[in-house]
Structures are given as structure tokens and as C-alpha cells.
Amino acid sequence: MECKFALLAFSCLLLQQCVAYNVEDSTTLEVPKLNKSTSYCNVFQGSWVYDDAYNPYYNSSTCSSLIKEFDCLSNGRPDQHYLKYKWKPSDCDLPRFDGQDFVTRFTGKKIMFVGDSLSLDQWQSLTCMLQTALPHSTHKFTVKHGLSIFTIMEYNISVMMYRTPYFVDVVSEKIGRVLKLDSIKNGNAWKGMDVIIFNSWHWWVHKGSTSQGWDYIQKGKKIYKDMDRLTAYKYGLTTWSKWVNSYAKNSQVFFQGISPTHYRSQEWNTSTGNCKGETTPISGSTYPTGLPEPVGVVKEILSSMSTKVTLLDITTLSQLRKDGHPSIYGLDGNQGNDCSHWCLPGVPDTWNELLSALLVSQPKKRLLFNQL
């Protein structure tokens, strides 16, 4: 009961603010701080606070579906302090996720994550949070046509994952794999969702035959061997935005902010290294090198759209968590060095706390926030 009252109070703050894009004027809504003259709270501005009493929502023993690549503890990570940090907005408290309340509110609904392996990270997190919150409910996992579906049978709620790193299509042709920046036939699988959380960027910058997902790029009738990746990303997001404007008008649409990497420790100190061996977050509320370039592209595209899309602005809070990656405790365990994805339990649980809080704060089908 106390948790529900906390969510209700928190919702009152969120209904007056959000990093969102308005249907009527297509402008970014700024978020004032909570102070004597206003009751607004920017939930994405804050810092990570150590709390020895703070416990993660799940572990591999309570979430049987947790994949090995994200299960850092089972892969031998020796430190556990990273599990004791919680996100503290500067001017309010973020309530803990209430799985029972979540499934009650979304009974009969379809929730879909659409994107790359960072979307998989967040989808895995949410399914684990729900499994652990409802241990006596019947859970079902199915995979159909590349779509992973987690269903809680008693509530007829489905949480889905559609894997597509670019949104736009990659088509095999005689010359090889062609990334078609103007084509988005993938979108047929996203129609009819109640909630959609999109994410794309991570794989746009990959190069080389083993990690680049295409051989050529097509824009209009022209074929390119390569182009500036940020430019290609903007073209791809423009095509995506047209799909959302046409087919997602009745859905609650979110865009997961750019998830950062920590391969260059020079960004937070003067040493040479990466996320390997990091055990504590960066203190404070800002990252030394600022925001990555694609953040500007995302905000530009979202501000031009006629359909409301809420930016789940997790970039800065995730930048501060140099300690949150699998590092050598991901992949096959003690192989490679993953400073891109996130340990589970871990940072994506906070993304889902924020997502849940924003969803709970919305009494209507689409988000409506005061213009500030």
C-alpha cells in the first residue's frame, strides 16, 4: 500500500514534466527543478547513491531466463558493490518498481521493445523484474519469427522483444547485404502494440566484416560503399519517424536514449584503460566529456514528429556507471571485454524503474504534459 501511495505522489510530479515531444508544437519540454516556486522534478537529473540496504530485484536463481552474457555474477564477477547503487534524482525520490501494480495496470496489453542488443538488455531486465515480483504466476516464453515473447498468463500481458539494430531494412541482393535507409518493412511486426520502446545506435558505428551488419548502403536510388555513420543514422531515424507518425498514433511510444560505452578511461580520468576493473560510479551528476553526438540527432528527429514520442533520457545517468558493464564477466565468461552492454541485475533495472514511473503517470492513452 505504501508503494502505491509513493507511485501516486510521484505520478503527480511526472504529469507536470517529462523529457517529451509535444504533438501540437513539436518542441522539447524543459523540466524545471523541484524548489520553492515549482513542484516539478527532472527524474533524469541526479546522481548514484550507495545504499548498503538496497537490494536488486532479482538474480539468476529467481530469473531462470537471464542470459549468460548479462549474468556477471554467475560469470565470476567478484565485487558486488555495483549492485548497491541506486539512482537518486536531485529533487525527488524514484519509487521502487512494483511488479504487481504494473501487471494490474497493463492487464491484456502488449508491450514491445524494438531495437538492438541494448533493447535486449532492457527487455531481459523487465522480464526478470516481473518474474521475481510474481513468482506464483504462470510465465511463458515463446519465440516466433524472430520475435521473443514473455507472457504472464493470468494477466494476459505480453512483453516482447523485436531484434532490429537499424530499424530500417537490410536486404540480401546480388552485390551483398544492402542497408536500405528508406525502407522499413520491419515495421509490419510492430503494429498494434499498446506500448513500444524503440532503441537504435550501437550497431551503426560497427565496422569490419564480422560486426558490420551490411555491405552497402542505399539512399534513394544511389548505392554507397559507406557514408558518414551519423548521417546514415539520421536518414534511418527519419524513415523510422515517418513509420511512427503513420502507424503508432494509438500507441504509447518511447525512445530509449543513447546507451553509452566506456572503452576510453581518458573520458573520466587520465589513465589508459577502459571499464575493466571499475567498481564505482562517477560521482556527481554530469559526465566529463558531455553527451555523445547521436543524442542531438535523436532530439532533432523527435522534435520534428507529429506523433508524441517520449525520450527515456537514460544517457547521462548511464554515462556515470562505468562500473556497470560486464567487462570480462560477460560473453562466454572471462572472454573479451564488453564495455557496451550492462550487467543484470544492474543499470537497465533503473531504466525500467523510470519507464514504469512514466507509464504509471499517464492516465490517458497518450502522454499529455503541461507546456513549460
Q: Which of 98, 116, 341, 356 is catalytic?
A: 341
Peptide bond into 260 cis (omega under 30): no
Q: Where are the alpha helices (DSSP H) in 50-156?
A: 99-105, 117-133
d(CA 16, CA 189): 33
Catalytic site includes residue 117:
yes
Secondary structure (3-state) at 347: helix
> What letter does residue 338 receive in the DSSP assignment?
B
- 221 Cβ partners below 8 Å, 6+ apart? none
> What letter does residue 8 receive in the DSSP assignment?
H
Q: What is the 3-state secondary structure (H, E, C) of 195-243?
A: EEEECCCHHHHCCCCCCCCCCEEEECCEEECCCCHHHHHHHHHHHHHHH
Q: Which of 91, 98, 121, 338 is catalytic?
A: 338
Residue corresponding to grid cell 551490411: 214
d(CA 249, CA 312): 18
User: What is the sign of the dihedral through the CA atoms of 79, 84, 87 and 90?
Assistant: negative
Q: Is 322 left (phi over 0), alpha (psi -120 to 50) or beta?
A: alpha
Catalytic site includes residue 338:
yes
Report in angstroms the alpha-carbon separations of 1 from 25, 88, 98, 117: 39, 22, 10, 36
Q: Which of 74, 90, 117, 303 is catalytic?
A: 117
Output the DSSP codes for 275-337. STT--SPPSSSS-TT---THHHHHHHHHHT-SS--EEE--HHHHHT-TT-S-BTTSTTTTSS-
Q: Which residues are catalytic?
A: 117, 338, 341
